[in-house]
Structures are given as structure tokens and as C-alpha cells.
Structure 1
Amino acid sequence: MAFPVTVGVIANPASGRDIRRLTTHASVFPTAEKANMVVRLLAGLGATRVERVLTLRDKTGIAALLLRALETHSAMGAHQPWPEVEFLQLPFTDSVADTHAGVAQMVRCGVNLIAVLGGDGTHRAVAAHCGDVPLLTLSTGTNNAFPDLREATVAGLAGALVASGAVPPDVALTRNKRLVVRCVEGPNRGREEIALVDVCVSRQRFVGARAISEPADIETLFLTFAAPDGIGLSSIGGAWAPVDRAASHGLHLTFARPGETGMPIIAPIAPGRVDQVTMRTCERFETGYWMPLHAEHGTLAFDGEREIELERGDRYEISLDWAGPLTVDVERVLRFSASRQLMRELAPHDRL
């Protein structure tokens, strides 16, 4: 018995709504637009033989708007096929726990692909539980260094080609680096967190509003990659020593305190905000070994958001590896599809 080609969809209700909307001029992704993006994703997925989509319920209205669109599409008898959409019956809290539980359930259900609508933080949460299930990344967050800013319809077409096996994994997928932080001594011994883009040792003692927004707070920064046209903390590395996602190494940067000397660098650390930081050192961060994090107080931030308040006696270390998620290279998939005329082969005969 053949199993239906199934895609999971994670649309983070909270992405694009953090405090940086108030402190900078970042764009806003309203609930209606996220629901519309999911609808456009369904159109792309359904056109290329994805039969089933699993997604989550939420309290903010994305699921309600999606359900309304599904009912309208069915009532109109639209000729364009959409996959059957199933809402997972899981408790929801409108916190990151929903993403963790949802992704874990999707993996258990055997999804071929997970489409993620969110920012760096959302993709980090998905990556913690997706294993080797590939991710189709779509940006709806604030400081988006990891996911792609792309039209959802086009992403859906590419995602379906991957989920159905029409484009082989060695062409379609890219393995990503990740940073791993673990506590090896102290009250939080055994705790482990990952980041897909950056880990920052912040001088702020409390998590607070979570976002890293003040240059003076940045003490140490580790990066998996640093694009010269990036936004957020990784743009600091990109302004000084760009590192490609495919490069074998990352970056390790340290920064001066106010009044100390160093190398001044201008970088866009948030949308609409270009600040100066004073860098002390910038070195390659190689894969395969653990480096102690020399921080006795402050907070640890992962992909731009403070998560851990350092406690007395805690000792953390950090490593870079290639165990990050697999992601779909949309352009490469569609170029391969065109070279093999896959869209013609997948189209129903009555539409040729």
C-alpha cells in the first residue's frame, strides 16, 4: 500500500511580532498574511501531487482563516487541486512548546517535508525535532538570516518536487551547520541548546524582552555563517569577514566594553537600525571541538533571542558541527525540474 505524499506546515503565529517592531522599523506579518501564505503554499503543493498536509491549530486565527479558505475552495469546485489538510489534535499554548510538539508529531506521522513559516527562532525550534526530515524555509520573522524570503507558491512547487521524490535529495537538499551549547557544570548541568545562525553571550543579566538590541550588550558572538548582505547579529561578521553557509568553519568574535579600544564596525543589527560595535577579535571557529564559554554572568542568546540566564557555578561550552537541518534549495530544484521537464510529466493529462 502506497502512502500519500505528505507535507507538514508550521506557521508560527508569533513570528514578526516581537519587541523589535516597536524599537525599529521592521515590517509586520499579520495573521491574515500568514494564512494567505499557507493558502498559496497549498496551491503550489497540490499542483505537483502532494496529497496531504498536516498543520497545527492556534489561538491567533491562522487556522481559522485557513479553514475558511479550504471551505471556500471546496464550495467553488475549483479545478486547481489542493492537498487534503488535517489539523493535528494536539493541545496548544501559543508558545514554542506547540512547535516542538507539532514537529515531533509530524515526524512520527512520516511527513516527507516540513514547510516552516517563521523567523530564525521558529526554524531553530523546528530544527531541534525534525531530524532528517527536510525543511522548506519561508521567512515571516524579524531578523531573518536563516530562512528564505520567497513567494510561497513557488516554494510550494519546489517543495512538492522534493517531497514526491521527483528531484533527488543530492540535488535538492543542503545540510546546514549548527552551534551546540551545553552546560557541563553547575545548577543547569546537562542542559543543551542549538542555534542555526548565532550564539551571543550578552552582558544583560536577565532575559527580559529576549531580543538582543543594544550593541553594548554584546560580549561574545559565535556564527555558523555571515552573509555580507545579512541582517541581525550575523551582519557584524558579514561586514568584517563574510563566511558562506557551505564554508567548513564559522566565526568567533569578541567585543569591547564601553570605553575600551577596538575595531569599530558599522552593521545593520536590526531592520531600520544600523549601529556601531567595537570588535576586539575575530577568528575562525572550526568544527569538531568544544570551546569553553568564558562568562560568569549575563545571558546566552540563540539566534538573536536571550534564552538562558547564567547562574553562579554554571560552566558552558560550545561546538560547531554539520548536524543542522536539511533544507530545500528552491532555485536548484526548479532548475533541475526545468532541465528534465518535470512539470510536464507531473501535469494531469486533461490539463496538457
Structure 2
Amino acid sequence: MTVTVGIIANPASGRDLRRLTAQAGLHSSTDKANAIQRLLGAFAVTGVERVLLPTDMTGIAAAVLKASSGAQARAARWPQLEFLDFPLSQTVADTRQAARLMVARGVNLIAVLGGDGTHKAVAAEAGQVPLLALSTGTNNAFPELRETTTAGLAGGLCASGRIPPSVGLRQNKRLLVTVPEQDLCECALVDVAVSPRTFIGARALSRSEDLAQVFVTFGEPHAIGLSALAGLWCPVSRQAEHGAWLQLGEGSAHTLHAPLAPGVIQACGIRAWGPLPPGQPQPLVLPRGTLALDGEREIEFSDHDHPQVTLDRHGPLSIDVEAALAYAARERLLAMPLTFTR
């Protein structure tokens, strides 16, 4: 069976409004095309035979196609490239459509270049197909910062079956957000924030006064974004069974300075906090407002709604790059015997 990998590079990731309101860096289409080329080089030596890549309107796929006919690609014996051509809306719908097509084609892995929002969109369609999470967005808590070459080696070895799933794959947590009155059920991979702002507006949240409550699947001290609140106050690891919650606002006994966006450090009052056990629905502290999933406001709720947030352990599978490469080193998976000719 042909080992096939999909690559989804969100053209819009790393280019949102926070480039104007914060000091975030820019991930250009050229950067993303170069990252894909590094992935292809890594996939070539790990047994990946075919790569599916969606077309786009920013030149990413075109640059990869041009490079595929070059001397470097021929020398490295890149996998066969196949481009998925479908009508583009230049919205998150394109990301989800690409993921659906890849799953239908039976890919062994989807490499995702984007931030938390991009990974959330792909995870919604991926089912049990593992993700190779690569950071090119603004808020990058879920995709860890990795060099795409080494990450590609780990992903390729897992996709080709040379690393056992019990070693190379990680089952992630997620947050389920339900609003029964709206017949709505959505999920977040990292955090859900409750805001007193009653309209979605520009979506992004990066001011302390816009936060009343935050739920996280994990919170790491080195993170940036809303999960940094937990990371710097009540850290919880990706591997822990539970998550964490915080209640914010005036009248708090403690103020925490946290990086809610690149270059934006806000003083946030911490009123209460605690562990978030799986399977126990949590009510909200506000009667009306908006809910931000993985950093962006998506849901408005009113006095007539009863939203709940629940942690569960059935989030997407992802490649554990460090564990996979440690196994590859122990088993010498990337070592080849020398051959001599007379």
C-alpha cells in the first residue's frame, strides 16, 4: 500500500489582525513553501511515496511545484506530488475541505503548518489520522515550535509504520463547548475563554478586561496566548489527565502579568482557579457574552442560553516528535549500510 501524506499550509496563518495590535512576526508564503520543501526532503528518506497538497491563491503550491522539477528535488528523490484542486473560498472552509479530501484518499498522516486555529480546523475533519503539528501562526500553543526537517523525519517514520503508534503518537485532550439552545457543539484544542464582550467583532482576544473565565486543556509556562495564564499560575502538562480553569476580573487578590499575544503582556486579576477534571461539564460565570475557542471569538450567548465547557481525552492524534526520534536513534532507523563497488 502506498504511503501517502497530506500537507496543509494555511495561507492566512501568521497574517491576522494581531500583526497590527501586537509585535508578532510574519510567516510569508515563501516561508511556508520553503518549509514544505524541507518536509519533502525528510519524507523522501523515510518511506513516504506520495504527498497530497492543496492549491492556493498565494503561490505556496506553485512554488513547491516549480521546485519539484529542480536538481535538488531530483537528487533527493522527493515523493510523488499530487495537487488537490477544488474551488477556493479563502476561508477556513478551504482548510477543512482539504483535510476531508485527504482523509477520503486514505492518507497516513497530515502535516499542518499553521497556528492553533488551523490545527483545530484540521482536527475537526481528521478523525484518527495523526497530525504533524508545525507552528506558523500567531498563537502556537498546540503546535510546538519545531524545525520542519527533523519534524518531517519523525512524521515520515511514523507514517511509513517504522515507529510503533504506541511510541510515536500522542492522544491529545480537547474542550467541548455545547450550547443546547443553539444546537451547537464545537471543540477547542487548547483554550476556551469567556468574554463579557457581547459581539464577536474582530475575534481575537488580547486584553485582560475582555476576559472573565479561561479553561485550558494544558498550560505550559513557556506558552504564549490565553493558555499562558494557566501556564504561569497553575501549570498543567499535555500528558496530565486533567486541565485547568481560572476566573479573572476585578476584586482579585493576585495580579498576574502574562503574554496574551506576541509583545503584549497584560496584568490579569486572578480571582479563583482549580483543576479541570475530564467529563464534568462546567457552567459559565457570565449570563451573556462571547466564547473564544483557541484564541478567537466564535460564539455569542445570551441570558436564554446555557453554555457548558467539558474536557475530554478524545482530541486528535499527533506525532510526538521527541519520542519518535529517540526511538529512531535507538533502533538506528535512519542508518544505512555502506555498499562498495569495484
- TM value normalised by structure 1: 0.93
Q: Which residue is equivalent to 1:12?
A: 10
CA drift at 1:293:
2.7
Q: Distance in 1 between matches of 2:226 and 2:196?
A: 15
Q: C-alpha distance in 1, partners of 2:49/2:85?
A: 19
Distance 1:110 1:282, change over 3 A: same
Question: Counterpart of 1:104?
Answer: 100
For residues 40 and 137 of structure 2, the distance between their equivalents in structure 1, rounded to whole angstroms, comes to 20
2:197: which partner in 1?
Answer: 204
2:215 matched to 1:219?
Answer: no
| Counterpart residue number, 1:71 | 69
Identify which of 306, 322, 326 aligns with 1:331. Answer: 322
Matched, 1:287 2:278: yes
Closer, same or farther in 2 for the Cα pair 1:45/1:349, shift >3 Å? farther
Instruction: Kindly provide the CA deviation profile for residues 279-335 of structure 1, in whole angstroms up to 9, marking residues without a partner as x.
Output: 111011100122223433221100001111224522211110000111111111111
Shift of 1:254: 0.8
Aligned counterpart for 2:81 among listed residues 65, 78, 85: 85
Aligned AA for 2:148? A
Taking the aligned partners of 1:282 and 1:217, their CA distance within structure 2 comes to 18
**Structure 2: which amino acid aligns with 1:143?**
N
1:117 to 2:113 alignment: yes
> Which deviates more, 201-210 or 288-297?
288-297
Within the alignment, does 1:46 sit opposite 2:21 as a pair? no
Contact 2:213 2:285 in 1 (8 A): no
Q: Alignment partner for residue 266 of structure 1, among 250, 257, 274?
A: 257
Shift of 1:122: 0.5
Q: Distance in 1 between matches of 2:35 and 2:204?
A: 26
Q: What corresponds to 1:237 in structure 2?
A: 230
The one-letter code matched in structure 2 to 1:250 is G
Q: Using a 3 Å threshold, how does the CA distance of structure 1 residues 349 and 121 change in structure 2: closer, same or farther? A: farther
In structure 2, the residue corresponding to 1:141 is in which secondary structure?
coil
Shift of 1:110: 0.5
CA distance in 1, matches of 2:24, 2:97: 29
* Structure 1: tracts of 5 or more residues without a match: none
Unpaired stretches in structure 2, ≥5 consecutive residues? none
CA distance in 2, matches of 1:320, 1:292: 12
Pairwise CA distance, 1:77:
7.2
d(CA) in 2 for partners of 1:153, 1:77: 14
Q: Which residue of structure 1 lines up, in the alignment, with residue 188 of structure 2?
A: 195
Deviation beyond 4 Å, 4+ runs, structure 1: 347-351
Measure the CA separation in 1 of the matches of 2:67 and 2:147. 19
Describe the superposition over 1:194-228 as per-residue Cα deviations: whole angstroms up to 9, x where unpaired.
Answer: 00100001122221211101110001100000101
Query: Which whole-Å CA distance do the structure 1 matches of 2:231 and 2:322 have between them?
Result: 23
Q: Are the aligned partners of 1:256 and 1:262 in contact in 2 as well (CA < 8 Å)?
A: no
Question: Is 1:129 the equivalent of 2:120?
Answer: no
How far apart, in 1, do the equivalents of 2:56 and 2:199 lie?
A: 29
Give the Cα–Cα distance (whole angstroms) in 2 for the partners of residues 340 and 115 of structure 1. Answer: 24
**One-letter identity of the residue aligned with 2:249:** A
* Count of residues in Structure 1 that have an aligned counterpart in Structure 2: 341
RMSD over equivalenced CA pairs, Å:
1.7
Shift of 1:162: 0.2
CA, structure 1 residues 348+273, in 2 after alignment: closer, same or farther (shift >3 Å)? farther
**Alpha-carbon spacing, 1:85–1:77, altered in 2? closer, same or farther (3 Å):** closer
For the residues of structure 1 that align with 2:161 and 2:33, how far apart are their CA atoms?
27
Q: What is the Cα deviation at residue 349 of structure 1?
A: 6.3
Distance in 1 (CA, whole Å) between partners of 2:340 and 2:97 is 41
Deviates most, 159-168 or 206-215: 206-215
| Alignment check: 8 A CA contact 2:206 2:264 kept | no
1:222-269 deviations in whole A, cap 9, x for unaligned?
000010111111111111111011111111111114xx3432111111
